Amino acid sequence: MDQLSADKIRNVAIVGHGGAGKTTLVEQMLFAAGAVQRLGSVDQGNSHSDFDPQEIRRKISLNATILPLEWKGHKINLIDVPGYPDFICDLHGVARVVEAMIIVTPAQDDVEVGFDNAWEIAEEQAITRMVFANKMERDNADYPGLLKTLQDRFGIRVVPLQTPIGSQSSFKGVFDLVDGKVHCGDPHSESVEEPSDEVRADAEKPRERMMDAAAEGDDELAMKYLDGQALSEDEVSHGLKSGVKSGSVVPVLMGCAATGIGVIPLLDHIVGLMPSPVEKLKSSGGEEIKPDPDADLRAFVFKTTADPYVGRINYVRVMSGTLKPDTHVKNANNEEPERIGTLFFPRGKEQLDASAVIAGDIAAVAKLQHTRTGETLCDPKNLRALDPIKFPDPIYRVAIIPKSKADEDKLGTSIQRLADEDPTFHHHRDSETGQDLIEGMGDIHLDAAIERLRDKFGVNVETEEARVPYRETIMAAAKAQGRFKRQTGGRGQYGDCWIELQPMGRGEGFEFEIKIAGGVIPKNYLPAVKKGINDAMSKGILAGYQVVDVKATCYDGSYHDVDSSEQAFKLAGSIAFRSAADHANPTILEPILEVEVDVPEEFTGDVMGDLNTRRGRPLGMEMIGSGRQRIRAEVPMATMGKYALELRSITKGRGRFRQEFVRYEAMPAHEKQVLIKEYEKRRSEDAEG
């Protein structure tokens, strides 16, 4: 693929909800441009974008895929981005390296959550956007309803640039208001015709709105337009491009990805209206970065993949300078040196050799040793890291158990490689529950990660529910004796101690105090008493959970010159603790989370009601703009296990939440009894087994 200058490059993310037809649209664009020789199909499992075996099985995109093409002297780097919220990681990464997004949505009177997510991120990153109304041929297609929804929500900046020729099953083309032509048929048999009087009449109002938007984009055009002079096609394009770049105009195009209707005008408008890297500069830390190929190198890693055979592949956008093979660079984040070996332009799974990648372009580098997503490669003499990507925190977790010893041996390194690929996928071992936990953005996300472990790295795991790290404590003071005596012939075992237990404040842990007078217990045995108490605390009082926030004072006891030993006093300490704890009003502590839930206003009542069923305590509620409410509440962790899935169901995917541990507190009596009965049942079953 030829290297073009930055002003001839368009970096465009194809985004929207899962099932909107993004991948099919990309296939048509590639085929129309001659970038591929066959038209791939999601249903047939041979699309150029969804080539991962898991994507083929599931028939959905799981990974962002880069698919460059050339169109009328320009290079368009299309990036097909997954639409399901579970895979939102790639949307955040891609948003950092593109100037434009095409948000694909079915022609219907409402938009789905994937549309909202893309729009919100585009707003945050000041990314130019265009809407493509797809599936115009469906029986229930409602383009006027969609347009009304968009204009009601986003105002007059939503500007249709086309009107349909036919509707639903009779949809056959588009009348493009910019070039004034009717485009019918698929890309390889497209007819371009003059519109009929009827088509012109139907398009009069949309065309007037388009002309207003074009005139508003340039002061000189505005004066000419207000004077009643006609604007030429070039002037209209210029005015629209200014508005699109600033975000004051969001064009709406339409078509049918399945048949390719509307694809040629879409490609033309990407080249004609979307900004190049030169026209819309990226910034970091308040600094605008000009895509100068002769400047010092800064290349930003926005995605990483791990392959068991090829190794790590980093996808980079060159922000400034020129990236070349067989050169030495440095990671500005960790100052580790890297050698650029194989450098290529990816097109799906195809790799096109790159002799150089200039500022503004996107490429991939294989086998970097120390570089991850969100990091910056630089000239070794000028290290300046770009702002990292802000990824959302995981909201759903499960525990995994290796199926065999071989799986256990490979799990650590394999799961770390998955975490390198996906910053929203986390893994850690919970020291309190003893479980290996994986965390992500939802059940489909974690299912896909487990499949990758199996398919890519040969690691098989089973899952179980993540256990809640309950703790136990005492609520009152109590004293007890612990006496261990055993005589079996010859030397016996003897240890005797008295301890007093007192409750401590939450989070204060464990304190051991010695108040022995007169040497009733020799000093060398006192650490054994403490160890025995610690062992008993680790086994729990009521339900087998770690005991915390207790002060134990050893104040009396006795010993035997011959029979006493550290082991005997350790057992005596354990006996004394258990006896005293039984009389110290023991209870179970549960972790409490502070939860913030952001939801559209119409779902506030349902979400509040659901939190109440989870024993949630409201802390407050506030408007956060755009018709959304933020609800704050304290909720027991035990009730939040599947909240990510249930909130998605309640709010049709439009709810978001964050949670943070705040403290432990005593469980209600009826909840505590449930745990105690479950513990006693397990002990009984273990004894019988």
pLDDT tens for each residue of 186-228: 888 889 999 999 999 999 999 989 988 888 877 778 787 777 7
172-190 pLDDT per residue, tens = 999 999 999 999 988 888 8
374-433 pLDDT per residue, tens = 999 999 999 999 999 999 999 999 999 999 999 999 999 999 989 988 999 999 999 888
**Residue 489 binned pLDDT confidence (cut-offs 50, 70, 90):** low
Q: How far is CA 114 from CA 22, 103, 152, 250, 653, in A?
A: 12, 9, 18, 18, 9
Could you tell me which residues come within 8 angstroms of residue 403 by beta carbon, excluding any fewer than 6 positions away?
460, 461, 462
646-676 pLDDT per residue, tens = 999 999 999 999 999 999 999 999 999 999 9
Residue 688: count of CB within 10 angstroms of its CB: 6
DSSP string, 23-78: HHHHHHHHHHHTSSSS---TTTT--SS--SHHHHHHTS--S-EEEEEEETTEEEEE
287-334 pLDDT per residue, tens = 899 999 999 999 999 999 977 667 789 999 999 999 999 999 999 999
Q: Cα 407 to chain center, whole Å?
A: 27
Mean pLDDT, the chain, rounded, equals 93
Rounding to the nearest 10 degrees, give the CA dihedral for residues 461, 465, 469, 473.
-130
Separation between Cα atoms, residue 312 and residue 420, nearest integer Å: 9
Dihedral sign for Cα 304, 123, 66, 7, please. negative
Contact 483, 496 (CB under 8 A): yes
- The radius of gyration of the chain from alpha carbons, rounded to an integer in Å, stands at 33
Separation between Cα atoms, residue 360 and residue 11, nearest integer Å: 8
Share of the chain above pLDDT 70, in %: 99
Q: Exposed, middle or buried: residue 3 (CB in 10 Å: 0-12, 13-18, 19+)? A: middle
Separation between Cα atoms, residue 274 and residue 240, nearest integer Å: 10
The two three-digit tokens of residue 268, written as one number: 């033309």
Residue 665: count of CB within 10 angstroms of its CB: 13
pLDDT at 2 over 80: no
